[in-house]
Amino acid sequence: MPTQRSASVPATTPFPEPAPPSPLDVADELLALLRDSTTEPRPDDQLEALTLTVAADLPVLLWGEPGIGKTAALTQLAASLDLPLTTVIASVHEPSDFSGLPVVGDDPAEHGVPMAPPDWAVRLVRAGRGLLFLDELSTAPPAVQAALLRLVLERRIGALQLPPDVRIVAAANPRSSAADGWELSPPLANRFVHLKWTHDHDVVVRGLGGTWPRATLPRLARERLPEAVERGRRAVCGLLARRPRLVHQLPDSEARRGGAWPSPRSWETALRLIAFATAAGSSRDVLSLLVRGTVGDGPGLELLAALDRLDLPDPEELLADPANAVLPERGDLRQAALDAVVDVVRDRPDKSRWDAAWALLVRAVETGAPDLVVVPATTLASLRREDWDVPASIERLAGTVSLSRRADRAARRAHARPAVGARGRR
C-alpha cells in the first residue's frame, strides 16, 4: 500500500534578534540622563553682576577657588544668551598666539609682514558674535599676559579685529591655589572688572537636583537711560572732585596690583556700570559688587556713599511739606536725610523752618524707627532762640528722646558694673 505523503509546510525564516547594547552605549545613556537639567529664574547677585558686565561690553574676570563652578557658569551663560563659546586656556599658549605669527609674503619691503591670527580667532570673526572665555588666566606667565593686553582692551589679535558682538570673560584661581600661579600684571588687571565667584549652598543643591539659575541679560528701561548716564557722571565726577588723590592709586603690594584699583580707565568703567545698573534697576548689593570690582574696596565704598547722597531727598523739599514728606526706608539714609534737614535750618535759621523741621521729625517717628530722631532732635533743640515758642509737636517726641537717653544711661551703668566688681575682687 502506497504511503500517503503529507502536505509540505513552508519553513519560516526567524527574525534576527537585536544585538545587545554595548556597555558603552548604556553608559552614554546614563551620562545623558545625568547631564539633563533645566534652568529657572532665581535672584543671584553675582550672576546678575556678571550679565550686567557682559551687557556693558566690558571684560570681566571671575576669581574663585578651583571647582567652584566658574567654567560651568560661563558655559551656561553662553547657552542662555545663544552665543557660541570659545574657550582658550591662556597658560598653554605662546605670546605669539595672541599677538599673531609673522607670515612673510612675496615682498616684505613693499607689503610688510602680516601677523597671522590663530584659528579660534578666525572662527569668532566668521561667526560675527560669541563669548571668548580666557580660562586659567592666573597661570599664564608674564610674557603671555603682556600679549593679552591688546586682545582684552582693543579686541585685536595680530591683524584681526574681533567683531563688536564678541564678549570677553576670563577666570582665574588665586595664586595660592593656582597651578604654578602668577600674580596678574597691573596693566592687565586694570583692564578687567573683578568679580569674586563663590558658591551658594542652595544653588548647588538645587542645581545638582537638575535645576540651575538662569542667566539672562538685564532689561534696560529705555526711559531711564538719560537719568542713568547723569547719575553715573554725577557720582563719579563729584567724588573725584572732592578726592583728587583717588583718580589714580597704584597699590603698593604686588598682590593688590593684580586686582581692582582706581585709574582713569577703571573710573570710566565704574561710570558705565553705574549707568547700566541704574537703567536695569539693580539692587545696591549688585552695584556694590560692580564698583568694588572695578576700582577696589576702599574707593568703591566711597563711590557707593556718593551714590547714596545722590538718592537722598532735597532737604528744602522736605521742609516745604513735612506732613507728606517721603523719607528713605533704609535707616542710614533716613538718618542722613534728617541730619541734612537740621543742617539747612542751621545755615538759614528761621522760626517757620525750625517748626517745619520739628514736624518732619514727628513724621519720621510715625513712619520709621524712633531712635533715628534722637540726634537730629537734640541738635535742632540747640538751635532755638529765646523769642521762639516751643511747637506743640515736640511733645510727641519727648517720650522717644527721654527713653533713648534712659537706655543710654542704663547701658553705660551695665558696662561699668563688671569693672567695679573686678576691682573689688583684686
- Kindly report, residue by residue over 32-79, the tens digit of the pLDDT: 999 888 888 888 899 999 999 999 999 999 998 888 888 888 888 888
Listed in sequence order, the residues at least 6 apart from 303 whose beta carbon sits closer than 8 Å to its beta carbon are 235, 236, 239, 270, 291, 295
Percentage of residues of the chain with pLDDT beyond 70: 85
61: closest CA among 173, 156, 148?
173
Give residue 406's pLDDT. 45
Q: 418 and 275, same structural domain?
A: no
Shared domain for 173 and 70, answered yes or no, is yes
φ, ψ at 11 (rounded to 5°) = -75, 140
Taking the alpha carbons of 399, 404, 408, 413 in that order, is the dihedral positive or negative?
positive
Within a domain: 96: yes
- Indicate if 376 and 242 belong to the same structural domain: no
Element (DSSP H or E) covering residue 135: strand 129-135
Per DSSP, the residues of 177-192 read GSTT--PPPHHHHTTS
Residue 27 lies in a domain: no
Q: Does residue 33 lie within any of the structural domains?
A: no
Q: Which pLDDT tens digit goes with each residue over 55-66?
A: 999 999 999 888
Q: Does 37 fall in a domain? A: no
Percent of the chain at pLDDT exceeding 90: 37
Q: Is residue 414 part of a domain?
A: yes
Q: Are 380 and 324 in a shared domain?
A: yes
Residue 146 sits in a domain of what CATH number? 3.40.50.300
Domain of 179 in residue numbering reads as: 42-102+113-213
Determine the 3-state secondary structure of 204 from DSSP. helix
Among the candidates 311, 331, 359, a domain finishes at 311
- Produce one character per residue of 144-157: b if its CB has 16 or more CB atoms within 10 Å, e if not: bbbbbeebbeebbb
Residue 101 has pLDDT above 80, yes or no: no
Residues 6+ apart with CB under 8 A from 287: 273, 274, 277, 304, 307
Show Cβ contacts of residue 371 under 8 Å, excluding neighbours closer than 6 positions. 400, 404
CA distances from 363 to 327, 332, 342, 368 (A): 9, 17, 14, 8
Question: Same structural domain for residues 205 and 233?
Answer: no
167 and 298 co-located in one domain: no
Does position 324 have pLDDT exceeding 80, yes or no?
A: yes
Cα–Cα distance measured from residue 229 to residue 232, given in angstroms and rounded to the nearest whole number: 5
> Quick one: which of 96, 86, 164, 166 has its CA closest to 120?
86
Q: How many domains does the chain have?
A: 3
Same domain, 249 and 151: no
Assigned domain for 13 exists: no
Q: 50 with 161, same domain?
A: yes
Q: In this structure, is residue 132 part of a structural domain?
A: yes
Domain boundary among 260, 284, 311: 311
Same domain? For 197 and 127 the reply is yes
Within this chain, do residues 415 and 346 fall inside the same structural domain, yes or no?
yes
Domain final residue, candidates 213, 242, 273: 213
What pLDDT is attached to residue 66? 84
Statement to judge: residues 60 and 203 lie in one domain: yes
Give CA separation, 34 vs 25, 77, 149, in Å: 14, 20, 39
Band the pLDDT of 113: cuts 50, 70, 90. low
How far is the CA of 195 from the CAs of 46, 50, 66, 103, 384, in angstroms? Answer: 8, 8, 15, 38, 51
How much is the mean pLDDT over the chain?
Answer: 84
Partners of residue 167 on adjacent β-strands: 131
| Residue 369 main-chain phi, psi, to 5 deg | -70, 125
Answer yes or no: do 241 and 262 share one domain: yes
In a domain, 370, yes or no: yes
